[in-house]
Structure 1
């Protein structure tokens, strides 16, 4: 949705930096289907909105997305225009948890899910730019949950991840193997919330072709 470059050169006449696509440049966004991988994820900043319930039916979930994307694109354009650094808005991500984690791998009872939906913000973007983007979005067609949006650093550290290709409801067996087989076999235990990165838009992609990175923070088993 943006233009490559920023329309002016950096100081000293150097050419504009190329547009960054974090899906290609960040190792933490890399995963292969059918393979579990241990990776150290650096701390990253996100625009975040929390909620609870089935994402397919929850009004709050739809409203969270409606708050995240306008701010994310406003930040992107500010980075392009003010800093000369353009980038592709990163993929939507989500943290998911429940009091009983079997609702993910066995029952898949989405009404019991808690979630935080997120869009990553590049490290070079100043906090003041994010604040200005929120204010700008609020002066237009203000999203219902804009006031719930925050900027926060997520430090996951060591994680296990894989790429799932297929419908969201088919993730259960993959997660069961990750949680019950691979992680214990590596001498690890689960620590943080289940994390998903959505490389596909379900509105434009058939369920069988959806590409979703599945991540679980871990630490050494005691």
Structure 2
């Protein structure tokens, strides 16, 4: 049996093809998560957070092979993003950005397994951020979603369209945090070819 792969099993949410905004209904998922603040391009905290998440994710992958659920493909990195002042986020004041970085976990990975994996990974990697990883359940429900192809810095016009055109035209308002799913490895992919899912939980204006 092939290892569980969230990109294959949940294509609508991890392999969309639409490059214009569309609404999808995102089911409940569980993640390993770590919180932080600062510019993702320059803040050491961001680098440490990503390293810690992958250390625990690959430890869980190894453990998963010995469970009834089985092996799984480590899912793409994801992030929830916000700022105390919304204009700081939309205006690119990255040093004030706050974030929760995520990696999706299969349903059979338990909180106990996550805590054990943290201890195992911490013993190997000596990365203190590993101790801050937490289990997170997220149910976003109705969400506007689009596949963005291009540099992360080129997302601004797409997000402007969402908040100043698409939502109002469709009788919607934002309800949760801005969510990104990184389908490309920026170390190996040209900026203009990066593939990122942009997602915004929404609700109807009269809801």
TM-score by length of 1: 0.88
- Distance in 2 (CA, whole Å) between partners of 1:148 and 1:20 is 26
Q: Which runs of 5+ in 2 are unaligned?
A: none
Structure 2 CA distance for aligned equivalents of residues 172 and 103 of structure 1? 12
Runs of 4+ in structure 1 displaced over 2 angstroms?
30-34, 81-84, 99-105
Instruction: Tell which structure's C-alpha radius of gyration is larger.
Output: 1
What residue number does 2:180 align with?
A: 196
Q: Cα distance, 1:149 vs. partner?
A: 0.8
Deviation string 1:24-80 (CA, Å, 9 cap, x unpaired) is 220222323532110111111111111111000001001101111110011111111
Counting only pairs closer than 5 Å after superposition, residues 9-158 of structure 1 correspond to structure 2 as 17-26=1-10, 27-83=12-68, 85-105=70-90, 107-158=91-142
Contact in 2 for aligned 1:21/1:88 (Cα 8 Å): yes
Give secondary structure in 1 for the equivalent of 2:161. Answer: helix
1:218 pairs with 2:202 = yes
Rounded Cα–Cα distance in structure 2 between residues aligned with 1:205 and 1:81? 34
Between 88-97 and 152-161, the greater mean CA deviation after superposition: 152-161
Aligned partners of 1:158, 1:204: CA distance in 2, in Å? 33
- Measured against aligned partners, the alpha-carbon deviations of 1:69-104 in whole angstroms (never above 9, x if no partner) come to 110011111111233612210000000001232334
Q: Secondary structure at the match of 1:82?
A: coil
Question: Who is 1:159 aligned against?
Answer: 143
TM-score by length of 2: 0.94
Distance 1:219 1:199 in 2: 26
Is the Cα contact below 8 Å between 1:159 and 1:218 reproduced in 2? yes
The equivalent residue for 1:11 is none
Could you tell me how far apart the structure 2 residues matched to 1:132 and 1:77 are?
Answer: 12
Q: How many residues align?
A: 205
